Amino acid sequence: MRALSLYFISLLLLSCSNEYFVKAYKTESEIRRGDQVELLSRFSTIEFKDLYLHLEWYTYDNFIINRPPYKLLVVSEPKSSDFERIEIVDVALSSSLGREYSIDSGVLPVTLKNENMGRDSHTFEPALSFRFGKKEKISSIIKLIIFTKNGVLEKELNLRWEPVEVKHYAPIV
């Protein structure tokens, strides 16, 4: 009887594990590098001379956090006071499954400003239903114009987003 009780207690302890998996879309380069700190971060970060640009595909569902629709959050974080603003001029998306997705061009361009060296953000809410379970990969081309005190820089980001399950740990309370 005591052995059976210990068995059930051990099963209970195993089922109370503090690890869980989050399904996320991260850039192909982040996945290839395999840096766990980078993979566990909410954002995929692109570094420029005067700013960091953070990107995240996320959902709003609080009950099933991995359920579409996906939205794209873009955050600008100044590295220097030379950075004035960034304009997101265009976002083009394509799918590895041949599905068509788009960001409403009526909301573009979007301007993120440097106000007192603080972050600025914008959420694109196209309600995209990526097929994580079918390993759908998303390619994006994001056209940007970066304005600094020293001039203007036009950039085009070609990013490939891949589905990945990232292990997280939560405290057992």
Quote the tokens at residue 20: 């869980």
CB distance 172 to 16 below 8 Å: yes
What dihedral angle (degrees, nearest 10) is formed by the CA atoms of 103, 47, 56, 130?
Answer: 60
pTM over 0.85: no
| Domain 18-169 is found in CATH 2.60.40 | yes
Mean pLDDT of the region 22-46: 86
Write the pLDDT tens digit of every residue in 142-160. Answer: 999 999 999 999 999 999 9
Dihedral sign, Cα of residue 132, residue 137, residue 143, residue 149: positive
